């Protein structure tokens, strides 16, 4: 669905690159996470893929279209939810969605249905200017689904949302992905990336440092240990066992059989820990 080869971009049009030698591809139906701190080159890459920035150097194909000779009809197949909410504040939520729906050449979704999906049911007649930041964000998110996109660009889709709404948004992304929608997720939130992405790319200083699935990364960079908390004569004790050492395996089985186990956790690394280990930089 997306192919990027040796992508470079310089805002000053010199050797100072915001993005340098970036290559990756996203097969249809995948949720691909683009992880990096602010200024890493995430938005620049996304800008080029969506045609907001002119391609300077490299090869980029999006939804079967060469970005260098981009056709407007390409946008019938893609949707984009921006990090900063960008809706007409003087128009109502419904008017906003209706207006954008008319700009597509493909069948579009019912604005009221979308408002309901993002939890803005009953707010259709309210002007977007009267919305809270979170509500505007949800309206921006709903707009990105209008044309049933095959390729969905999500830029920090849960930023600034309360946990309940963020969970709903994640649920919608999963649901759409199950229908076959390809998702390009740009975020610095490792939890959402871990939960949603089939693969993630770590980008720092305009360069991709690593691309892999969260599961594989955790196995690769995590420790093979299990931490167990158990009750021992009225006291709470804890022990750590290796999951590869044979003696530890036996001891763990013995402990499970004889003690009252309170908690048991594998000591796998979080994506953030892996990011720091690989790039030497923090995500935030």
Partner 1 sequence: MKLWSSFVKELIIASRGFYFYVEVLMAFVLLFVLLFVIPENYVSKTDEYLYLDFPSAAIEQKYIDAFKDSDGQSDIVLLKVGTDELPARLYETAEQRIYLLESEEAMARLAEDRHKIGAAVIMDADDYELHYTYYLQGNEAPRLKGLLKILHGQDDTALIAAAETQTVRTLTEAQVYLNDRENLLPVFLAFNGSLMGFFVIAAYIFLDKKEGVIKAYAITPSPIWQYLLSKVLVLTVTMLVTSLLLITPLMGGRINYLVMIVFLITTGLFASGLGLIIAGYFDDMAKSFSAMFLLMIALMLPTLAYFAPGWDPLWLKFVPSYYIIFGFKEIIIQGDMGFVMLLSLGYLLLSAVLFTWSIARFKRTLTV
Q: What does the binding site for partner 1 look like in residue numbers (CB under 8 A)?
A: 43-44, 46-47, 50-54, 72-76, 78-80, 82, 84-91, 95, 99-100, 102-105, 140, 143
Q: How far is the CB of 90 from partner 1 (least distance, A)?
A: 4
Q: Check if the beta carbon of residue 218 is closer than 8 Å to that of residue 272.
A: no
User: Which tokens hold the place of 246?
Assistant: 């044979």
What residues contact residue 28 under an 8 Å CB cut-off, 6+ apart? 1, 150, 180, 182
What residues contact residue 48 under an 8 Å CB cut-off, 6+ apart? 7, 9, 19, 54, 55, 60, 67
CA-closest candidate to residue 185, choices 38, 10, 15, 43: 43
Q: How far is the CB of 151 from partner 1 (least distance, A)?
A: 11
Q: How far is the CB of 91 from partner 1 (least distance, A)?
A: 6
Q: Check if the beta carbon of residue 45 is closer than 8 Å to that of residue 22.
A: yes
Cα 184 from Cα 230, distance rounded (Å): 43
- Measured from the CB atom, the residue of 88 and 191 that comes closer to partner 1 is 88
For every residue of 175-219, DSSP letters joined together read HHHHTT-EEEEEES-HHHHHHH-SEEEEEETTEEEEEE-HHHHHH
- Measured from the CB atom, the residue of 41 and 119 that comes closer to partner 1 is 41
- Measured from the CB atom, the residue of 105 and 232 that comes closer to partner 1 is 105
Q: How far is the CB of 54 from partner 1 (least distance, A)?
A: 7
Q: How far is the CB of 268 from partner 1 (least distance, A)?
A: 35
- Measured from the CB atom, the residue of 70 and 269 that comes closer to partner 1 is 70
- Measured from the CB atom, the residue of 43 and 182 that comes closer to partner 1 is 43
Cα 171 from Cα 208, distance rounded (Å): 28
Q: How far is the CB of 72 from partner 1 (least distance, A)?
A: 5
Cα 112 from Cα 93, distance rounded (Å): 9
- Measured from the CB atom, the residue of 152 and 230 that comes closer to partner 1 is 152
């Amino acid at each position: 669905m997306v192919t990027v080869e040796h992508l470079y971009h310089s805002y000053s049009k010199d050797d100072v690159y915001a993005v340098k030698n970036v290559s990756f591809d996203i097969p249809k139906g995948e949720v691909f996470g683009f992880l990096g701190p602010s200024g890493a080159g995430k938005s620049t890459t996304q800008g080029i893929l969506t045609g907001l920035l002119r391609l300077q150097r490299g090869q980029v194909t999006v939804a079967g279209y060469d970005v260098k000779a981009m056709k407007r009809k390409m946008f019938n197949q893609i949707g984009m939810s921006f990090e900063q909410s960008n809706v007409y504040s003087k128009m109502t939520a419904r008017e906003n969605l209706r207006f954008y729906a008319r700009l597509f050449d493909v069948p579009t979704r019912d604005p009221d249905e979308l408002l309901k999906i993002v939890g803005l049911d009953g707010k259709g007649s309210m002007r977007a200017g009267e919305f809270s930041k979170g509500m505007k964000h949800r309206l921006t998110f709903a707009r990105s689904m209008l044309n049933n996109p095959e390729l969905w660009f999500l830029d920090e889709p849960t930023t600034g949302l309360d946990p309940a709404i963020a969970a709903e948004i994640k649920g919608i992304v999963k649901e759409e992905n199950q229908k076959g929608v390809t998702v390009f997720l740009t975020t610095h939130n490792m939890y959402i990336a871990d939960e949603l992405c089939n693969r993630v790319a770590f980008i720092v200083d305009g360069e991709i440092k690593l691309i892999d699935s969260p599961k594989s990364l955790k196995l690769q960079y995590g420790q093979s240990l299990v931490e167990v908390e158990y009750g021992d004569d009225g006291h709470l004790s804890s022990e750590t066992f290796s999951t590869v050492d044979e003696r530890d395996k036996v001891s763990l089985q013995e402990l499970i059989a004889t003690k009252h186990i309170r908690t048991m956790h594998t000591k796998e690394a979080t994506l953030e820990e892996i990011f720091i280990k690989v790039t030497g930089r923090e995500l935030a």
